[in-house]
Structure 1
Amino acid sequence: MSSEFVQAIEALGKEKGINSDVLFQAVEEAVVSAYKKNYDSSQNVRVEMSKATGEFHVFEQRKVVEQVMKPHDEISLEEALKMNPNYILGDIVEQEVFPKNFSRVAVQNAKQIIMQRIREAERNMVYDKFSEREDDIVNGMIQRVERGTVYVDLGSTEGLLMANEQVPGERYMPHDRMKFYIIEVKKTGKGPQIMLSRTHPGLLTRLFELEVPEIHDGIVELKSIAREAGMRSKIAVFSNDEKVDPVGSCVGHKGMRVQNIVNELRGEKIDIVKYNTDPAQYVANALSPAQVVSATASDTEKICWVVVPDYQLSLAIGKEGQNARLAAKLTGWKIDIKPESQVEDAETVQEGSGEEA
């Protein structure tokens, strides 16, 4: 091998973003493999390669023993002492060998092993890069859809959007660019597998962190999220600075901040409500956009009774109960909604019963 070979390895390392030491180690392994394969040797072999000149030396290794049972792997203490009087039992004796025409054989074998090592190194780099980004969002371009699975180009690798992580009704067309939530990064024999999601609540969290500086800076907190992907979401926000309106910060000037997120989620409706430590007020806020006349919470039963104007009842419950369901999920409280007229009728009956008594 020559200095040109060394330069080629260093250039390849820079091009692939791989430490050249990894490639030099691959060359040494290739030389060991080539020696054992082409010279029918099962001996332990060590290779020493100069990173300056590309020259290498091959050393056969044998263990110093009292009685030799395996001549290829062992050497008697008597023979070892002839070579060096300092050897003792258990030491490893190395002898350099000079096989003929070995450089050509070694280079051929090295090429294959280097390419294999490059693939392994690239896979490890991709895995390290994306494993650090679990629970984060990433930009990707739709490549193709096969048997319900969407394959996403993430630049240096490919991500998978399985059917159960896709938003119902959302279309995934080749070359479309979207944001995805990384739910898991797996190591497989074929390289890292990046599992993506468009339905995870974490996607909504990260989108608000990107879009709202106050959230990124910790001034505004996202206390809770309830999401029915593709349909509607509710988020509860709280401000650590009384001068900052948490809802207004998330909505943005003329609604631009939340609208950008709605656009990314292909029209998913988002209700932004103010978090409150008072459960009754929190539940009342969570039922937005419905108006609430009164709310009473029971800590023991973890239930909140809510009264709304009659004309707001359907809005409070929502289509197929969605608004009430999301509010309950957001707050963690069971919610019992009644129209104002029903409560008034019940109070009238109670008053009448009292007069008769």
Structure 2
Amino acid sequence: MSDIEKAIRQIADEKNIPYEMVIGTIEAALAAAYRKDFGEKNQNIKVEFDATTGGSRVFDEKTVVTDDMYDDAIKILEDREVLRAEGKLERSELTEEEREKEKEITLYPKLHISLEEAKKIKKDAESGEILHIELQVPESYGRMAAQTAKQVIIQRIRETEREIVFEEFKENEGAIMIGSIARKEGRIILVDIGKTTGVMLADDQIPREFYRPGQRLKVYIKSVEKTPKGPQILVSRTHPDIVAKLFESEIPEIASGVVEIKGVAREAGSRSKVAVYTKEENIDPIGSCIGQRGARIQTIISELGGEKVDVVMYNDDARTFITNALSPAKVLNMEIDEKDKTAIAKVAPDQFSLAIGKNGQNVRLAARLTGWKINVKEDRDDDIKPAEISIAPEDDGEPSIIEGGGTSEELSSEEEASKKKKTSKKKVVKKEEVEEETTEEAKEGNNE
């Protein structure tokens, strides 16, 4: 075994590249080099590389055609040369007949050979056969071939490694991988994910989550694309699917398909709502996700940097599903408009702030989770005009309207003022703080 063959086989084994693929790449590069330095443009050059000796044979590959076909093509090409000499080669200056003749050019001397000429090289040549005509190569080509082979091997290794990385991560697109923070470049975080580095853009970073070099964390493989510099892998910590994937990895009932995730609505770093469902009557899907004493859900919360996660029951009945999605608030009555996909949820006055959530987050997530526009309205028996708020699935910001009130913060201020009028001696607790505590208590109760 020659040194070059040993080198090729060793590299092929180490890099997990098929030996034949490396040889094929070397042959293609040698053919291109010969065509450039010793051949003609568009000439169909093929090379057979012998790794044992390091030598190579060069062939001019041509297709055998009948003599008539070849002669007709040559005649058209000769006429074309005449047109070029007369300055009439531009298609706009050709007659219709001349344009049709150009379309008839399907044979070229560099790619085809007449049957008569082919039989001079191979006696039993037939029309349609591919003929390999061996060429005599200059002495300088041998030295060039060795250098080209070396360069091609290096280049091919680099390209193949990139291709292997691309294929591996393309298969894992939409999956979760464990990575470690490599470094920060401006607003971009680079994450070491094994054979390559993933890029976490600013929008894919959880707000207020700090990333330290060497820190290990789970990331979602958002997209894998080819670039001139190799595969570009975008990873995310904010994608809604990372929540679903964490549920799959941490909850056996979901991994096995007994419990299904029907939807995820997320505001990364703050709160997520996950709708679950099962066909099994003896399985509690919410309990399966929460785990004993909240152990399972707490693992997921920790992976998300402390982000709160609400697990709600999915139902094919829109009224029931929307009611569940608005938890921990209790809905008294639900009216729906199937045509416009609009729902009116009536709640008691003391449940209104809980239903809309801080800055409207609870109803906003419920709208996204269900895909319905949700109006939350106070159900009052007194003369006070009921507060009402409306949120569509595509709404992102804090709700700005409330009939009979204002924003959730404004409602808190009004209630505070009312309390102060009744007594100046009592310690006043802001309604907004009470709402947050109530939400947390309701969630903890659900988890347990």
Instruction: Pick the TM interval, shorter chain.
Output: 0.7 to 0.9
Q: Distance in 1 between matches of 2:195 and 2:115?
A: 55
1:85 aligns with 2:123: yes
1:149 aligns with 2:188: yes
1:20 aligns with 2:3: no
Q: Distance in 2 between matches of 1:187 and 1:294?
A: 53
The residue that corresponds to 1:9 in the other structure is 8
CA contact (8 A) 2:8 2:153 kept: no
Deviation at 1:159, TM superposition (A): 1.5
Q: Secondary structure at the match of 2:257?
A: coil
Deviation at 1:176, TM superposition (A): 1.6
CA contact (8 A) 1:47 1:56 kept: no
- The two structures, once aligned, show a CA RMSD in angstroms of 3.0
- Which among 208, 224, 227 is matched to residue 188 of structure 1? 227
* 1:129-149 CA distance string (max 9 Å, x none): 122222222222221221211
The residue that corresponds to 2:324 in the other structure is 285
CA contact (8 A) 1:307 1:338 kept: yes
Amino acid at match of 1:172: Y
- Which among 324, 342, 346 is matched to residue 363 of structure 2? 324
Deviation at 1:298, TM superposition (A): 3.7
Alignment of 1:97-246 (within 5 A): 97=136, 99-100=138-139, 103-246=142-285
The residue that corresponds to 1:338 in the other structure is 377
Amino acid at match of 2:122: N
Deviation at 1:92, TM superposition (A): 3.3
Q: Secondary structure at the match of 2:260?
A: strand
The structure in which a higher percent of residues are strand is 1
The residue that corresponds to 1:314 in the other structure is 353
Q: Distance in 2 between matches of 1:277 and 1:196?
A: 33
Q: Secondary structure at the match of 2:195?
A: coil
Q: Distance in 2 between matches of 1:336 and 1:178?
A: 39
Q: Distance in 2 between matches of 1:300 and 1:80?
A: 76
CA contact (8 A) 2:273 2:311 kept: yes
Kindly tell me: are residues 80 and 322 of structure 1, through their superposed partners in 2, closer, same or farther at Cα, counting changes over 3 Å? Answer: closer
CA contact (8 A) 1:45 1:58 kept: no
Deviation at 1:202, TM superposition (A): 0.9
Kindly tell me: are residues 87 and 300 of structure 1, through their superposed partners in 2, closer, same or farther at Cα, counting changes over 3 Å? Answer: closer
- Which among 253, 262, 270 is matched to residue 301 of structure 2? 262
CA contact (8 A) 2:55 2:142 kept: no
Q: Secondary structure at the match of 2:331?
A: coil
Q: Distance in 2 between matches of 1:29 and 1:130?
A: 28
Q: Secondary structure at the match of 2:327?
A: coil
Q: Name structure 2 gaps, 5 residues minimum.
A: 65-69, 79-107, 385-448
Q: Distance in 2 between matches of 1:31 and 1:221?
A: 56
Q: Secondary structure at the match of 1:293?
A: strand
* 1:271-313 CA distance string (max 9 Å, x none): 0011122322222211222233333434345333333343332
Amino acid at match of 1:262: I
Kindly tell me: are residues 74 and 237 of structure 1, through their superposed partners in 2, closer, same or farther at Cα, counting changes over 3 Å? Answer: closer
Deviation at 1:84, TM superposition (A): 3.3
Identity %: 45
Q: Name structure 1 gaps, 5 residues minimum.
A: 348-357
CA contact (8 A) 2:220 2:242 kept: yes
Q: Distance in 2 between matches of 1:71 and 1:289?
A: 81
Q: Secondary structure at the match of 2:219?
A: strand
Alignment of 1:41-56 (within 5 A): 41-42=39-40, 44-50=44-50, 53-54=52-53, 56=55
Kindly tell me: are residues 30 and 338 of structure 1, through their superposed partners in 2, closer, same or farther at Cα, counting changes over 3 Å? Answer: closer
CA contact (8 A) 1:80 1:93 kept: no
* 1:135-170 CA distance string (max 9 Å, x none): 222222221221211112121122111122222222
Q: Distance in 1 between matches of 2:158 and 2:223?
A: 22
Amino acid at match of 2:382: D
Q: Distance in 2 between matches of 1:116 and 1:181?
A: 31
